């Protein structure tokens, strides 16, 4: 299945990518990497080793820093981080909320995934890797679609599909996700791309907030 899903960044907004990249660069500067065997660099007497040219780091404006705050990211999605959202995060381990995909026309109810659901995504993806030849882009696209299948509850106010029940009448999470993915796979790639971007932004913001939720409630 080719969903046309976004590649690489998995829908994370540019300001979050920049913040993560700055953190990685800082971390890398504090770690001394050992040279790989067989690739030691030897400077000859005739040609002394040159020092790398420093790369200027672009300044981050206050406006950009403010936009990268998780509470501001959620506001852009129409989500207010309040005590109700905090209680859901604390006691359920996830957050559900409706997000506008096409302004005034199409709304989706998303949920963030639990740790168990991410494990299920990896298991389903591993099975696909065994059964199907795919490129790196294809792998990323399929992973994004599985995450969306677990994280999309409603389309335009209606359930994506009926939940699949097990023999003991409990919701079969995996089979329900498989059915949701079939439904999502028939949607327009452009719409799926927006859904992946916004679900990714919601997830990143909630994950950032979960490190210190009380501080964000106090400042919201």
Q: Give me the pLDDT at residue 143, please.
A: 95
- Contact between 160 and 183 (Cβ < 8 Å): yes
Residue 90 lies in a domain: yes
Residue linked to tokens 């500067």: 29
**30 in any annotated domain:** no
Q: Sheet holding 158-159: strands in order across?
A: 96-102, 106-111, 152-155, 158-159
User: Is residue 147 domain-resident?
Assistant: yes
How many structural domains are present in the chain? 1
Q: Which domain holds residue 74?
A: 62-214
pLDDT of residue 190: 94
pTM of the model: 0.69
Q: Would residue 132 count as lying in a domain? A: yes
pLDDT in tens, the chain (220 residues): 444 444 444 445 555 556 555 545 544 444 444 444 443 444 444 445 455 555 555 554 555 555 578 989 999 999 988 888 888 888 888 999 999 999 999 999 999 999 999 999 999 999 998 888 888 888 999 999 999 999 999 999 999 999 999 989 999 999 999 999 999 999 999 999 999 999 999 999 998 888 876 676 665 5
Residue 14 in domain: no
The answer to whether position 57 is within a domain reads no
The answer to whether residue 174 is domain-embedded is yes
Angle at 88 between CA 197 and CA 94, to 5 degrees: 40
Does 29 map to a domain? no
One-character DSSP codes across the chain: -------SSTT--HHHHHHHHHHHHHHHHTSPPPPPTT------SSSPPPPPPPPPPPPPPHHHHHHTSHHHHHHHTT----HHHHHHHHHTSS-EEEEEEETTTEEEEEEPPPHHHHHHHHHHHHHHHHHS---HHHHHHHHHHHHHHHHEEEETTEESSPPPB-TTS-B-HHHHHHHHHHHHHTS-HHHHHHHHHHHHHHHHHHHHHHTSHHHHHHH-
């Amino acid at each position: 299945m080719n969903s046309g899903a976004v590649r690489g960044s998995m829908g994370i907004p540019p300001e979050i990518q920049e913040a993560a990249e700055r953190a990685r660069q800082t971390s890398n500067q504090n770690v001394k990497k050992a040279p790989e065997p067989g690739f030691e660099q030897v400077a000859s007497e005739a040609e002394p080793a040159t020092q790398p040219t420093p790369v200027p780091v672009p300044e981050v404006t206050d406006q950009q820093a403010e936009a990268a705050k998780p509470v501001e990211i959620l506001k852009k999605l129409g989500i207010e981080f309040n005590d109700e959202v905090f209680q859901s995060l604390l006691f359920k381990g996830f957050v559900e909320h409706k997000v506008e995909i096409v302004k005034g026309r199409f709304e989706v109810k998303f949920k963030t995934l639990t740790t168990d659901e991410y494990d299920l995504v990896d298991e389903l993806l591993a099975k696909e890797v065994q059964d199907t030849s795919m490129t790196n882009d294809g792998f990323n696209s399929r992973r994004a679609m599985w995450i969306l299948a677990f994280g999309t509850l409603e389309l335009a106010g209606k359930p994506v599909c009926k939940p699949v029940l097990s023999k003991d009448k409990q919701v079969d999470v995996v089979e329900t996700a498989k059915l949701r993915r079939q439904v999502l796979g028939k949607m327009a790639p452009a719409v799926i791309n927006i859904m992946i971007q916004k679900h990714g932004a919601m997830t990143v913001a909630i994950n950032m907030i979960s490190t210190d939720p009380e501080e964000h409630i106090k400042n919201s």
